[in-house]
Chains A and B, each alone.
Chain A
Amino acid sequence: MDTSTHSSASSSANSESTNARERAPSGAMSSVSVGNGENRVSKATDKVKLKAEGVNVFYGDTQAINGIDLDIYENEVLAFIGPSGCGKSTFLRCLNRMNDTIDICRVEGKITLDERDIYAPDRDVVLLRAQVGIVFQKPNPFPKSIYENIAYGPRLHGLAKRKAELDDIVESSLRRAGLWDEVKDRLDKPGTGLSGGQQQRLCIARTVAVSPDVILMDEPCSALDPIATAKVEQLIDELSESYTIVMVTHNMQQAARVADRTAFFHMGDLAEVDTTDNIFTNPQDQRTHDYITGRFG
C-alpha cells in the first residue's frame, strides 16, 4: 500500500458519492451539510498501527473471514464497507478481541498492535481494550449517571488518583465528544435519559475517557437520525487528530465523507482496500464496482 496516496485525502469523494445518491435518492444524509466532506484533511501518518496477517475467523465450522491481510495506519480513518454478512463487523471485533466473548468463535492468524501480537498468550485483554476502544452500533450507555458513565473506565484502570483528576477527565472527554455544553448541568442525571445521538456521543466520550490509541466503531450512526449522524461524523473527523479510527458503515456516503481509506469486504474476503477516492471512482475489483454502483448489497 502506497501511504503517500491516502494522505492526499478525499477531496473529490463527493463527486463519486453521487453514485450512492442515485441508489438512495431519498438519502437524507446528502441534504445535511456535514461540513467536512470535501475539505477534510487526513491526519494519517505512515506508521502502521494495526497489522493483520492471514486472519481467519470461524463460527463453529463456518468460516466467516478468509485470510485477511490489512495494515491500518496511525491516525487514519479507515472505513469498512460491504454487504450484510460480509464479515466486516466480525473483523472489526477481532481488532480488540471482542470476539473472545463469543464461545464458538475462533480466530486464526496474526494481528499486531504496535508490532505486538494481540492474540499472544501473555497479552492481557483488559490492557488491549484500554488501548483499542470500541463504540457499538446501538448506543449502550450504562443505566447510571452521565458522570458515572464516563468515570467508570478511568476508575477501572486507575487513571485518576483524586476526584479532581477524575472530574477533569470527565469534562475533557465530554468536550471531545462535543457533549459537554449539552450535559454539563445534568451530569448526575441518567445517561439513558439522553437522546439517541447524545447517547452515542456519550458512548464515544466513554471510550475516549480511557485514552485509547485506536477507536473501533461498529456502524456508530445506524441507529441515529441525520442530524445526530452529522454530529458524530464531525466528531470522528476531529478525533482522527489524535486517534486511529476504524469504522464499519453500511452507508457508503458516510464512508465517502469521513474515511481516508475504505476497505470493501465481500463474503469474508477483503476484496479491496484503497484510498476512499479510488474505491469510489476507480475500483480495481469487479465486486467493488458492482457494489458501489448498486448492483447488489
Chain B
Amino acid sequence: MFGQSMKMAFGAILSNKMRSFLTMLGIIIGVFSLVVLVSLVTSATGSVQAQISEIGSDMLSVNIFTDQGKPIKAADLAEISENEHIGKVAPAGTVYVTAKFERDSADVTVYGTTASYFEIQNLKIAEGRTLRGFDLENHTYVAVVDANVAETLFPGKSAVGKGLSLNGTRFEIVGVLESNDSFSGMMMGWNTVVVPFTTAQRTFSGFGSIRSFYATAASSEDVDAAEAYLREYLTARYGTEDTFNIFNMNILAATMDQVMAVFSLLFGGIAAISLLVGGIGIMNIMLVSVTERTREIGIRKAIGARRSSIMSQFLIEALALSLVGCAIGIALSGLTVLIFNIAARSSEMLSQVSVGLSPTVVIVAVCFSTAIGLLFGLYPANKAAKMRPIDALRYE
C-alpha cells in the first residue's frame, strides 16, 4: 500500500516536471540558504576561535588612562611578574612615525617594549634576532621590523643589518618578523617596528611613561586569578578602578561566540522564512492538484479507496516535493561549499578558511522540510480525502 502510494506520488510529480520543479524551488532556495549561511558562520566561528587561541587566550592587556602622577615603571612591572598567577609582562607604548631608508619611506607604528613582548604576542622571527635584555639596559638603537616594512623598504633584499631612520633617528635593524596574517597580526596592524622601550622613551617625544602593558597568566587556569591580581594591584595604586582597563582575551572569545550565534540565528531565521514561503508554494500547488484530480479521487473512492488511502497519496506527494527539494538544496550547498573552498585556497585573504557543511544544519534542514511537507500537505490531502464520491465523480 505504501509502496503503491509512493509510486503514485512520484508518478504525479514526474508527469508535471516543470510545475513540480517550480514548486520545489522555494524549498531548494530555502534549504540552500539555510545550509550555506549557517555552515559559513559556523566555519568562520571555528577559524576565528582557532586564531584567538593561537594568540593565547591567557593574555591580558592593561591600559591606563591617567596615571595620577604615579606612572608604572619597569620595576613595577618586574614586581607584577613576580606574582604566582602572572607569567610574563611586557610594556607596550606606541607612536606613529615615518620610517625612511634612502629615498623610500613608510608610515609605521612603533612599539616600544621588551623581549617578553615577542613571547606574549607569539611573534616569530624570520631572520635575525629579537630584542634582548641588554638592548633595554643600554638603550640601544635597534629595531625589529615586520615583513611588510622589510618588503616595502628593502624589496628583495635582506633587511637585517641595514639602517633605518625613524623620525630622523637612526636604528639598526636586527630582526625581521615572520609575515603574520593571523588574527593577532590583524590586531597589531601591519607596518610595525618594535624597538626597546627605554630607547623609545628617550627618542620619541610624547612616548612618556608606561601607559599600557601586556601580561600572560601563569597557565590558562590562572587567567581569572591573574586578572583579579592586576585589578587589585592597580586599584591599590590609583585608589579607583576608573583609571584603567583590563582586557581579557577570554572575553573576546566569548563575545565572538555570541556574535556568531546571533548571526547563525539571524541567517537561520531568514532561511526559515523562505522555507515557509516554499511550504506555502507546495500547499498552493497541492490544492490545484487536488482540484484537477477531483474526478480521479471520485473514481478511486468509487472502487474502494478509503479516506486514509487518498490522504496518504496526497500527503506523500507533498512530502516528496519538499524532501526532493531539500535533497537538491543540500546537494547544491555541498557543491557551493566545495567551489568556495577551492576558490579560497587560491586567495591570500581566505587561505586559512575552510568551510564544511555543518551536519547539524543538514539535519535541521531535513527535519524542517519534512515538517513543512507534512504541515502544508495536510490541508490539501484532507480536502481530497473528505470529498464525497458522488460529487467527485460528477465533477467535470
Whether A and B are associated in the same complex: the answer reads no
Question: Which A residues form the contact surface with B (CB < 8 A)?
Answer: none
